[in-house]
Amino acid sequence: MVLLTPFFVLFTAVLLAPIGYAVYLSLFTEHSSGLGFGGSETVFTGLGNYARALGDAAYRDGFLNIAAYCLLYIPLLLVLSLLVALLLDSVLARAKRFFQLALFLPHAVPGIIAALIWTYLYTPGISPVLDVLGSAGAHLDILGHPLPAVVNMAVWEATGYNMVILYAALQAIPREILEAAVVDGASPLRTALSIKIPLIRASITMVGLFTVIGSLQLFTEPTILRGASSAVDSSWTPNMYAYTAAFTRNDYGLAAASSVLLALVAAALSFIITRATRARSERRPEARA
């Protein structure tokens, strides 16, 4: 218990206390007193800020944008990360250390810097890529459709990180199992589909769970892209809505309420994914029997 004390202290300081303070802020709002000359007063509103957030179409539209983002981003990221990890795990792969480092480097670039670089590449008139495509007759309005642009940024940043996790899981598979598959005449594709992927299903689920949670917190990429695209407004994601409410409108109660609602959605999705994965793993032995 003594050894766990530092963990519980840090856990309380960096997670429980901020969540508790956010819940506290969400129950109050600021009202101007008198004719506006007497400053403002803090008023208890209960669930009023939650009703305001849920009743705001801009906040609800942010969740729709996140849902569309997840439908594109999560399958693409998981498939690409798994494919790269399987290729690196192949016996025919060469220079594995070099490619691991090269693929991981985009994750080491700070998100703001990466978003600025991609925004530069997306902006007509200054992007050398778009200039070359334009001279070839292909005129792309990337900033007019920000969802694929944001997905591309996120995939570029996160693929290498998830690849490392999946590659480590593949390396942990006992070599005897793979050698037995080779002796039985299994092709590399058959080995990957029937042996490797099922044995690292837990790691794939973990990557998927973390990806879902991270997707709900999308903020940096669309915020940077907003400076170049009119299609991205200040409430394009729930996180951007909360940021605008707090630091543009100075409505900290609404910002806290929208943040707590977002946290509840993330917790609910995490619970559903975990339960579904556990139920599937519990049914598998019965099916085999």
Asked if pLDDT for residue 145 goes beyond 50, the answer is yes
Q: What is the mean pLDDT of residues 179-192?
A: 88
pTM of the complete model? 0.86
Q: Residue 25: its pLDDT value, please?
A: 93
Q: Residue 288: its pLDDT value, please?
A: 46
Report the C-alpha gap between 21 and 13 in whole angstroms. Answer: 11
Confidence label for 23 from pLDDT (cuts 50, 70 and 90): very high
CATH of domain 47-288: 1.10.3720.10
Confidence label for 3 from pLDDT (cuts 50, 70 and 90): confident
Domain boundaries in the chain? 47-288
Kindly state the percentage of the chain with pLDDT values over 90: 55
Residue 27 to residues 48, 53, 244, 261, Cα–Cα distance (Å): 7, 13, 19, 13
pLDDT in tens, 208-248: 999 999 999 999 999 999 988 888 998 999 999 999 999 99
Confidence label for 286 from pLDDT (cuts 50, 70 and 90): very low
Asked if pLDDT for residue 34 goes beyond 60, the answer is no
Confidence label for 279 from pLDDT (cuts 50, 70 and 90): confident
Residue 38 to residues 33, 55, 201, 249, Cα–Cα distance (Å): 6, 30, 61, 19
